[in-house]
Amino acid sequence: MQKGFRDLIVFQKAFAFAMDIFEITKTFPNEEKFELTDQIRRSSRAICRAIGEGYRKRKYPKYFSNKMLDADMENSETQISLDFAKHCGYISEDEYSNLINKSEEIGRMLYFLAENPEKFAPKNNAEHS
C-alpha cells in the first residue's frame, strides 16, 4: 500500500536525479550561474514537484495524468540542458550518458503513471497522503 508520493519509486529516482544534477552543476562556470545552472536545477526539481502535486490529487485521473506529463515535460527540459552542458564541455560524455540514462528511465516510469492513473487512485476516501 502506498503511503505517499515519497514512496513512489519514480519520485525517489527523480529526487536522486535532481540531487545528481545539483552536485554536477557545482562545477559549472560562474558565467552560467543565472542561465544553465539555475535552469537545469529548476527543471530537475520540478519533476519531483509535479509528481507530488499529481499524487495529492490522484482521485482525479485526468489531473493525475496531466501532472505526470508535466513532470515528463520538465524531465525533457532537463535533458536539453544536459545536451547544452555536454556540448559546452561542462560535463564529460560518461557523466552525460549516466544522467541521460537515469532521465530516460524516469521518463518511462512517468509515462506509465500517466497512462495508468487508476492504478494509483486512492482505495477509499480516508486515504490521503
Q: For residue range 97-126, list pLDDT tens digits in order.
A: 999 999 999 999 999 999 999 999 998 654
Domains in the chain, please, with CATH?
5-119 (1.20.1440.60)
Angle made by CA atoms 11, 13, 18, in degrees to the nearest 5: 90
Query: What predicted TM-score, i.e. pTM, was given to this entire model?
Result: 0.91
AA identity, residue 2:
Q
Burial group, residue 84, by CB count within 10 angstroms (0-12, 13-18, 19+): middle
Q: For residue range 8-61, list pLDDT tens digits in order.
A: 999 999 999 999 999 999 999 999 988 999 999 999 999 999 999 999 999 999
Count of CA atoms in the C-beta half-sphere (13 A) of 68: 26
Q: For residue range 59-87, list pLDDT tens digits in order.
A: 999 999 999 999 999 999 999 999 999 99
AA identity, residue 112:
F
